[in-house]
Each structure stands twice: as C-alpha cells, then as structure tokens.
Structure 1
C-alpha cells in the first residue's frame, strides 16, 4: 500500500515538474519578430530554412473570428456549411500576425526556426487599390493588447501585401509599359487582312530602323536629332516607335513581324487602364550586348516592382514552392484566411476551395485530425488541450532547439507573439513520435507516413454545444459519437428566454409523439436550440403538427401559442444564401421561413440528404462566446 502511494506521489510530482518545465521553457522561447524594417533580411533566412525543413507549421493572429455563437463552426454543420461560415469570417476579419516555423525532426530532437510576421495592408504603390476594410472584435484586440501587441508598430511598420489576384488586377489597371512582350504561337490561320496588316507593319518598322541607323542622321544638327526623337520616340536613350493596335489579335501579328528584327529590337506592351493593350513599343538597341543589357534592366525593374507589390506574399510563395507538408490546427479556419488574403477570393463551394488550395499547398496536416488517431471519440479545442492530453497519456519527451540569432528587438522573448506556432510544432513532434512508435509496434516496420492524414479539413467545432448537465468549459470531449441524418434534426426557437437545454427538453417531452421517446436537446445560442431524434422519421410528423397549430396535441398547442417555432435542417442551410446574418440564429431562421412561405421549396429540394457526427456529451459555455 505504501509502495503504491509512493509511486502515485512520484508520478504526480514528475507530471507537475514536467508541466512547469514546459511552461518555463516556453517563456524563454525566442521568436524572430519581423516587420517592414527587417523584412528583406528575414526573407533571405526564411528561404534557407524553408528549403531545408521537414515541415512548416503556421499559425495566425486575426482581428476576430465570428460575430455570434451560432456563426462559429458547430458539430452539426456539414462540410459545406462549415466552409461557408469560415469563408464569411475570413473575408470579414484581418490577419495581423502570421507565425511560421520551419522545423526538422530527427528522432526526438526538434530543430525549429520560428518567425512572427507583423502585417498591415496598405497601398504601397499608391495605385488606388485595394481599398481595405475589415472588422475587429474587442475581445480579440484586448487579448492582443494583454500580450503586449504594439498596434502603432503594426500600422506604421507592419508588412503590406497583395494577393495574387490583386497583383494581376493592379498590373492590368495601372498599366506598365516596361513589360516585355512575348509572341505566342497561334493555331489560327492568317486571313488576307492579317497578311496586309503584317506587311504594312513590317514596312514601317524597317523604314524606321533604317532611318535610325542612317549615318548622316547620327551627325545631324542637334535640333534635327531632337525633332527625330519627338517624331520617332526615345526610350531610355534608345530609339523607339509605338505601333497602335485595335485588338489582341493585332498584338500577336505585330510580335510575329518583329521576330524578323529580334537581334536588334525589344518589344514592350503598352497597356490601357482597363487591362487591354493599346500598342506595342519597339525599342532599337545598338548591339547584341546592348540588347542583353537592356533586357537585364527590364528584368531587374520588373522584379523590383513585383517585390514591392507582393510584400509579405513572398513568404506565402516560398511555402507554396517548397511543397513541404504544412502543419496547422483548425485548418479550415486558418487556410480560408490565407486563401482570401494572399491568394485570391474564396470560391463559392467547399469542393472548389479544396481544389484551389491544393494547387498551392498539396500537403496540409491538421493536428486535430491527427489527434483522433489516439483519441478517436474526442476532440481537442486548442493546442494546449492536445499537449495536455499527450502528457497525461504518453511518455514521449521531445527536445527543442532554436538556433536563430538576432537583435533583442528581433528575438523578442519577453512577449508571446508567435509562441503558438512553436507550441504547435512541439506538440506535433510529440504526436508524430508516438504514432510512429505505435505503428512500429503494431506492424513491426518503420514505414509510417503521414499521407493518409493530409488534406482532411477540420469541419468539427472547437466549441461543442451546451447540455443541461455541464456548463463548464469542456476542453477535451470524449462522448459517444454517432452518425446522424440531418433529416432527424429540428431547430426550435421562440421559447422563454433563459431556459437551459435540460429545461427545454422537459418542456418538449410528451408534447408530441416525436418527443415521447429518447431525444437530445442542445442550445445553439440563447435564442435557438437543436433537437436530435434518436428514432428516424419523426421530424416530418412533428413539423406538420407545428404547421397545423398543434390541433391534436394540447401541450404542443400551448407551446405554439407562447411563441414556439420549429424548422428542419434545410431551413438552416438556406440561411447561408442570405447576404446579411443576424446576431441571433432565431432571427435568421424567421427570415428564411418568411421567404420560404413566399417562395416555397420544390419537393425535391425540401429534403436534406446530409449526415453529420453527433457527440452526445458535447458542451458549450455560452458565457465565453
């Protein structure tokens, strides 16, 4: 008995010391803070570390996430609805910090290179686009302020950026005559008009070139030279001539003609403000060497402008080009923000989003899904919950080394900016080590890979739903999870304010045959609840009774007279076709019901052939949301 008690005491002491060591070491973690002033130098380091890494962990700090409890991704949301919710959030809120950690993992040793980029969108080139606006949640800003976030430094020294789509639009709208033109082989057969146009351009260019090379013209009176420059044009001290065009077809014809003079001339496109091409500028060089020098000058100018335009997106392009596995937590939320801010506007559907994202980041590993391998019936709210679960169940120490060097301002260890990405890397390393060891023991080989865990986007809620028995913050849920048809879910609202889910369940019990058996009730927010039927096929009968005013059910009729309303899952799904969302889910459902009364659904549209995973023990603390 004494030995058992001693072992328990030693185990508790070891666990406490381990947690204290991890907490104290995390406070000493030094993360390179990157702003506009040291961005170029940091970018060169990032290139090296990303290239040599095994994995890249990323974590964002945004100005908000969702405006009301029901707008967060919830357990009963299908993948499509979860995407539409995160899409709305990604478009509404701004990314202020982007933490990146390129790391290598050998046995139980983690070598990490963490960077935290401070971002702020601005019009660096004064091109008049884009015009940024975004929402802020006070709770998020307060939390950032408590961590020592310097909002002045963010606004004045934050790194700006343009997405790929914005960059293309800016180049089209502003126009840049320094863009080199490249001929594209056309399969279209030349018409008589095309041939006449090409001969006319060829004659004009040849006459102009010969005039420029005229030895007499080179020694003419200075006034004559000036007049010649006005008539023929001059581009960076080199003779030039502009050829006007009326269509993209004519652009290609001009470029085909200029191939004959390719040893001496360089063609440039002259775009209009609306993105089309108004002409081709033909620049004559003095020699082959002069042409090479001129083309190098153009390349340098294009690259310099592209860097200024891309800004922080240089980092995104580096990550994408590396093709390294990306480690995230809550991948759907993080990656919709990355896609929206740095790539292009989010596609309208979940499947299109996955296809678009995969072209940039082909290997995305979500820590939450990886955790299901050791905790299949549970979910972890955050990285701290995942780390705590691993510590309580497994002994798998991982040492961490951060070789980065920098000034005191660059390596800010006193604040916790970007520490989440190191915690994510550390927790992933422990989990990866555990899974490899388990795989080796079970299959007796060392061929464990992460391929089957890639690109599974997390559509499960990080906050489960409120039950009547537990109002606490259930960081790790481990209830009985079962697949449930969305046809067996009902949304109810219009009940008395302040009711708990348990009280509402008692109120509904016996009011209709659908509630005579076993069913679950969870509050979605303070205005609305969701009811899950254990026995299939009961929801339609209940909704029909609701429409008839509860004629044959006395208790139901009383509830309806007090304001109770109900709708099926399809009504909830149609909320996401509405442009404006109300704070309360009940108000949104009312809007859809009124719309459905005016424009009824077709019979084939009224059903919801969706399935979700229902956790019987999930809990939501509404005070926190």
Structure 2
C-alpha cells in the first residue's frame, strides 16, 4: 500500500559535523555529556545558560523499577485517579539512577541540543540519618541497564546525591548547629503579666550589653580581658553577639519584638534545637548600616552555599523550575511522580492535589505520547523509537541536529548509550513541532501545543469526546462504558486464556446471552465488560447468591470463581498493601468490605473506553 507523505519543510543538507546526526539515525554517535559527582560543580556552571536560553527542555529518567506485577502497572481500564495511585506507589518504592536533561532550541529545521545525563545515587551526605533511603529494584530494569554497559560501581561511589525541598526544610531543624536568620514579626496586641516581665528583663539585658560593647570599645582594656570577652560574648567577624535563651515560640516572638527597637544596628539569628524548635535567639551587633548590610549579605551567601552543598542534583531541578521553560517528556505521569517525590515533597493523596502542587514548579509540561495522538489517533505507539519510525514513514520533516558540547572521552559516553533517550525525545518533538507549524496556517504552533500541555491521563486526547474521569482502553474501535457495566472475575485455574474464559461464561448465566467481552488483567484475574447497562450488577448479584437456578454458574462457583464490581478494584488501589496477584488483593478487600460495607451512593460515575482488540499476552510478562 502506497502511503502519501506530507512534505512539511524544505529539504536541507544534513550538516557533516561530528556532532550532527541524520534524522533517521538513533545510534551511539550522539554525544551526551555524562555528569557525576566528580564533575558536577563544573557542569552546573555550564548548563545554567543552556537552560535559560533554551526553547524547550526534554527530560528522561532511568529507574530501578516500575511495578512488581502486571496488574500494578497502569492498565487501559484505569481511571486517571487510579493511574495516579499506581504511579505514586511506583515513585515511592523505586529509585532514580539516571536523570537526562536536554535543553534545546529550534530554529527552522535545525535542532541545537545540549544533552546531559546525570548519574544519581541517594546517600546521607551530612551523616544525620536523614534522609534515609531504601528502595526496591526490579531485575529486568537493572539487566537492561547492564546490557547498555551501565557502571553500577561508578554510580554508587561517584553518583550525585540529592535531597528534596521538604527534606531540606526538615534538615535545618534536625542539624541543630546551623543558625537561621530571623524574619520580622507582627507586634503582639495583648501581653500577659508574664510577657511584660519577660520583655522588661530582656530589654534591660540587651540595652546594658549594647552600652558595654560601645563603651570605648575596650580601648584601655587588658589584652587578656579582651580575649576573655570574645570567648564569653562570641564573635561574628569583629562583631560581638549575645545569646538569649527561650522556652517557647512565644518567647522567641517577644525577643524579636524587643530587638526591633535596635533594628538599625543588630541582626537577630535563630538557634535551632535538635527537636526542630528554637532554643535561643542570637543578637549580633554591627557597627553601622553599611556593616549591617554587609553582614546580612554574608549570611545570605553562607546559607546559599550550605543549601547548594545539601541540594546536590536538586539544584538542576530548581534551575529548570526557575526557567519556566516548557518541558517535554514521554510519560509525564510516571516521570513527574518521581520528580515530585524525590525532589519536591511527598506525593499528595489525589491527582488534583498532585497537579496543583506540580504546577507551582512546572507550569508547562508536554507529553510526547499525547502529541503523537494528533498524528496517529487510532494507533498505540508505546515508545519513542516507534514514534520516530511512524513519523519517518509518513511525513517529510528533516531535522538537523547539532550537539556543540565538548568534554573528555569519559564524559562523552565512550561509545556507550547513556541518556540516549532524551535526545530521541528532543528529536521526535522537533519533528512534531515542525509538522504542526506546517499544519497551522493562521495559528502559531506554540498555541496549538497548549492543547497538549499538562495532561496526566495517559489515555486522554483532545480528539476524543471524553471527560477527565473516563477510562480509555486502547485508542481504536473503542466503546464508551460505565464502570457499573464492568466486573472483575477471579478464582479460575491458572493458564486459562481470555477466549476460553469467555466461552465458559457464555454458558453459565443469562447475563452472557447479550454481547460481552473478556480481558485478562494478570494470570489470576480478568475484566468482563457488558454492553447492556445493568447486566454486570445482575451477574455479580447472581454470583453472590450462589448461582440461583443457573447450573452453569453454580459449577463455576464450585470451581472457585468470584466476581466483584469496579468499586472494589478502586479500594484495592487505595490500600497500602498490594499483593503480586490482583486476585489476592481483591479477596482481602472483599473480606474487609463485608465487615464495613460501603454505601452505593459513594460510587463515582466513571466511564471507560473499551477496545475488544486489547488482549494481555501473558508470554510477554517478564518480571
């Protein structure tokens, strides 16, 4: 069959630069700078202008695993909320070992890319027991990395550590030896008698101390006395200081109110305690307004340096966030669940909370998979090489790639594929962007991209008439069904195919006299879809009652068959303990639901997109 090719850009000569690769060559010639702890500081100075001067930033993550059994991955029959719960569990269990970042610019058909692949390994750099990392590993993921020549020894010993924003905030309280600048507080409207006594005592002490410090500045003082004074009073450069002990946060506020009277010449610092509270206020006396400004600048620089040492790789995440550039990823839900969990804060409980939290740091995220649906709405392209092959066979959009990075042979791969996927993502996106510009006659391509930004439902598409709560199964020959028309079935013997299971069911109950379909979720469980409303509930009720008058159904029940509705599956995904087989998890939830039943009115009116061509091939499951 001859396919028509869309010519979207003028053909241009591919540059014969050693860093320039023809747009149909995904191979080891691509130069990707490898970043480890030993060259991290140097690379940070290099990558910063590339990030802020880029048009887009592509990211690609390499994890230690994704899911522990087939049903725990995101299934076509999952709602967006359930898909998020699965991504959340994966991000909390597994770890990142590589994080590839590629700032790039697009000028006509030329892609100028700056790909960096950061090798990560989380560790307790400050030896304070926080953060304490433990994580799961999936053997197939590690095997795949090993086949590409990944050096696990180098990762462990020279990998870059990191800490999340939430962990850094907690760490400042746990260390107990780092002073924090105190911020201005509002004056208290009402003071108790105890407050008034405390304030008068502190006022007198601070006033006396300042007067003593200013009194001739010890010009005629014995050198030994001056040395002892420094030991007692403390010294910040040449600036004297005094510590005021406090017993509560209320007393901290009162001390800061007193210090405000001397704001032109003093700088208050908070002394943190081990338990995260404040154990005292240190007041530093400066000699002039200029000296105070200088000291505050020194404190700010010191805090920044300490934070930089602690942040590690998160400094890259913070740069990307500060740039506000559009970010391109292939699987945004999984990738940004990991990014949020590892570098921001613990993942929230719901998808809406996750989106809200993420948008504050990354307001514009483009998922390559959603963008591909604009050009192949009836296909199911699961990876970046497949997307590249599809575009190459149907569209003519030549992209010249220039990678002007320099580095040592060790930094530039030594011929091995590290972080290779981030360049593929950049390249495929450049093609899609070029084709989109050709398609848009009156509207800019950047505006067209807005339709595909910040979508975290892997099955969503602007081309389909659907709601945010729909479940889509595949993307071709789909039917819209209510979740009430779906049943989960388990208890059948191992090795039973979907076709054989459908044959058994068709002879068991009148519910199967109308059209229905069966798909396997894993080796222990299947999903049954009914085209007629209300049939699923009738079948589940018949199973619960023991089969009534249907001999075929009684035989299935005697064999151990069980059935439940979609709500039970949702409750499984909301629990913390997931079994390797979905059937075992369903058994546990059904047993607990019998003790604490859930009212029917709590059900959500979800809908699914069902494709009868979607079949789970158990032979492809490799764990």
- What TM-score do the two structures reach when normalised by structure 1? 0.90
Distance across 2 between alignment mates of 1:231 and 1:115? 51
Question: Residues 349 and 486 of structure 1: is their aligned pair in 2 closer, same or farther, counting only changes over 3 Å?
Answer: same
- How far apart are the structure 2 equivalents of 1:578 and 1:389? 40
Match of 2:16 in 1: none
Conserved? CA contact 2:163–2:311, under 8 Å: yes
| Superposition map of 1:462-477 within 5 A | none
CA deviation after TM superposition for structure 1 residue 96, in Å: 0.3
| Contact 1:69 1:622 survives alignment (8 Å) | no
Q: Which moved more, 1:178-187 or 1:537-546?
A: 178-187
Q: Name the SS for the 1:618 alignment partner.
A: coil
Aligned to 1:545: 542
Gaps of 5+ in 2: 6-20, 461-472
- Equivalent residue runs for 1:410-449 within 5 Å: 410-412=411-413, 414-440=415-441, 448-449=447-448
Matched positions, count: 595
CA distance in 1, matches of 2:488, 2:49: 53
- Once the two structures are TM-superposed, the CA of residue 114 in structure 1 deviates from its matched residue by 0.6
- 1:192 positional shift: 5.7
Conserved 8 A contact 1:58-1:101: yes
Does the aligned pair in 2 maintain the 1:489–1:569 contact within 8 Å?
yes
Q: Using a 3 Å threshold, how does the CA distance of structure 1 residues 131 and 265 change in structure 2: closer, same or farther?
A: same
- What is the deviation of 1:194? 4.1
Structure 1: runs of 5+ lacking an equivalent: 9-19, 462-475
Residue 307 of structure 1, CA deviation: 0.4
Task: Name the residue aligned to 2:592.
Answer: 595
2-structure distance, mates of 1:519, 1:615: 11
Q: Give the structure 2 partner of residue 567 of structure 1.
A: 564
Name 1:344's counterpart in structure 2: 345
Q: Of 490, 504, 509, which aligns to 1:507?
A: 504
* Contact 1:270 1:278 survives alignment (8 Å): yes
Partner-residue secondary structure (3-state), 2:415: coil
Using the TM superposition, give the Cα deviation of residue 388 of structure 1 relative to its aligned residue in structure 2, in angstroms: 1.6
Distance, in Å, in 1 between the alignment partners of 2:348 and 2:526 is: 30
Range with greater deviation from structure 2 (174-183 or 134-143):
174-183
1:302 aligns to what?
303
Question: Equivalents in 1 of 2:267, 2:596: separation in Å?
Answer: 61
Distance in 1, matches of 2:531 and 2:393, equals: 34
Contact kept, 8 Å, 1:178 with 1:298, in 2: the verdict is no
How far does residue 217 in structure 1 lie from its aligned partner after superposition? 3.7
Counterparts of 1:199-238 in structure 2 under 5 Å? Answer: 199-215=200-216, 217-238=218-239
Alpha-carbon RMSD: 2.5
**Aligned-partner Cα distance in 2 for 1:247–1:153:** 48
Partner of 2:384: 383
Q: Which moved more, 1:414-423 or 1:258-267?
A: 258-267
Partner Cα separation in structure 2 for residue 426 and residue 517 of structure 1: 48
Task: Check 1:513–1:264 CA distance in 2 against 1; reply closer, same or farther (3 A cut).
Answer: same
Counterpart in the other structure of 1:242? 243
The structural deviation recorded for 1:27 is 2.1
* Contact 1:177-1:268 at 8 Å conserved across structures: no
Q: 1:284 aligned to 2:280?
A: no
List structure 1 runs of 4+ shifted beyond 6 angstroms. Answer: 444-447
Partner residue, 1:578: 575
Separation in structure 1 between the aligned mates of residue 412 and residue 381 of structure 2, nearest angstrom: 30
Aligned to 2:313: 312
Map of 1:81-92 to 2, 5 A cutoff? 81-92=82-93
Distance in 2, Cα, partners of 1:260 & 1:21 = 69
Question: Which residue of 2 is the match for residue 493 of structure 1?
Answer: 490
Q: Which moved more, 1:63-72 or 1:560-569?
A: 560-569
Tell me: CA distance 1:216–1:451, structure 2 relative to 1, closer, same or farther (3 Å). Answer: closer
Distance 2:173 2:444 in 1: 55
* 1:183-221 deviation line (CA, Å, top 9, x unaligned): 133474555654543333222111111112233844323
- TM-score of the superposed pair, with normalisation by structure 2: 0.90
Q: Within the alignment, does 1:266 sit opposite 2:267 as a pair?
A: yes
SS of equivalent residue, structure 2 residue 28: helix
Instruction: Give the deviation of 1:560 after TM superposition.
Output: 1.0
The answer on whether the counterparts of 1:436 and 1:448 sit within 8 Å (CA) in structure 2 is no
Task: Name the residue aligned to 1:517.
Answer: 514
TM-superposition CA deviations, 1:477-496 (whole Å, max 9, x none): 65312222111111111112
The answer to which of 152-161 and 180-189 deviates more is 180-189
1:364-403 equivalent positions in 2, closer than 5 A: 364-403=365-404
